[in-house]
Structure 1
Amino acid sequence: MIAEFASPDSEAALMALLATKADPGLIAGGTDLLIASGNLPAAQVVVDLGHISSFRQVKLAEDALFVGAGVTVAAIARDPLIARHCPVLGQAAVNFGSVQIRNRATIGGNVANGSPAADLPPALVAARAEAVLRAPEGETSLPVADLLSRRPIVGRRQVIVGFRLPLGDGSGIGAFVKLGRRQEPTISRLTLAAAGPRGALRLVAGAIGPAPRRLAGAEAALNAGADGFLPALEDDVLAAIPGRASAAYKSRAIRALGLDLLDRITKASEDAE
């Protein structure tokens, strides 16, 4: 049973709250929690993160682009700094849910919720993003890929304050494509995210396991410019979902999605010249 509701307006106020509450429940956009079946999770206090202005910042900081955990998906989709320095994340945001969901959902919530079908995590992993976490005891950071591999993703008195996206990836090519049952909104059945300099792109798949997965064979073929990219992509994805009834359907869909990815990469390369 919920005993209290709090809405801190600064990181300092949030840390003070987390230091004194044994069982806080954090909520950002609430797009998953508010439509969940059953009751809200039991918590000593439910903490609304939506009034902390620093969580909604997108800024250049030293050798990285910092995206606050409270930045909405809609804001990511239209942000010029993200479009310039991390286009794969901007494309993932454009393909995310519906207009209404994009206006509420936050990047921090999309990561912290840990859904295997989440759209932003594969883009963040491809972009070599680091998550910045804070607790009353101090701050820590770790690659998003490592964060998503642990359970719980966020500790009881921890909060994701933002993400650092490293700069200096050369041309900054990025591409994101998605397979779903319908156009919008849809739960992803397969996503592909590619990011990095020309010839050294990192290729990551989502919705084929509990966390985004790097596709080593397909990535090597993609960067070699070889004709073998589509069969390598099919092999890598099907190896990750052995025995699934959807494998026959996905064999055809994987190749089609791979062609879409190649088209986006080609256009991004041309634009970078």
Structure 2
Amino acid sequence: MSEVVLYDKQDRIVTITLNKPETRNALSKDLCEALVSAVRKADDDVGVSCVILAASGKSFSSGGNLHEIKAMTAEQNMTPLQIEQWYKTGIQQIPLAMADISVPVIAAVNGHAIGAGNDLATMCDMRIAGEDAIFAESFLRVGIIPGDGGAWLLPRLIGQARANQMLFTGEFIDAHKALDYGLVSEVLPGDKLLERARELAGMVVGLPPLAIRKTKELVRTAQSVTLKENLDQAALFQGVLQQLEDHQEAIDAILEKRKPVFRGK
């Protein structure tokens, strides 16, 4: 059996690929577990500075696995409490792992990103899309709600009005509308999608490794603190970063008009 999530590290870039094209990368239990494991593995590796999240086949992710969801009540007769625990120990581990990872994550979205697939894209720091990409918050179409953080994530990215329209209508939007909404930052031909993701990742890893992680932490915590608290955190980080060799190397390289060599020190 092939791996449901592929993990490939080259230089300081890890590419995590959803690999269940036969289900359009529906977020089944095994895929959720493998994805969380891959994200945690990348986060634990100090030799990683950027992650690309991609998908094999014609879809990024079709969302939750409807067969598994139906089986909860139709076959397994799960109680409300059991279903609650299923979410907490299953798919909800993905947004928690994505929130914890200390390096930037780039989503390369091809084809359908529907329901939980759309939410998975919103968990990433940067999102680029192929021209064939289709996005939707489709939970109401099957009589459920975003159980994976979509109601928290989407308004923060595209604003409450547009998020509400997607959430309450379940409408499908194409890549160019997603670009207009600010859900993605670039739209490219499908055959250029991974190439561009790797180019962006290369730009990230060309910067000082520790400063990358501190920037990610500063951006992440900014969502839940006051401006004063964020400024205090920034000052604290600067006090550390400006003592590092990489900071001096960056300045020297600019002044000497050469390419810097960063060592994570």
More strand by share: 1
More helix by share: 2
TM over 0.5: no
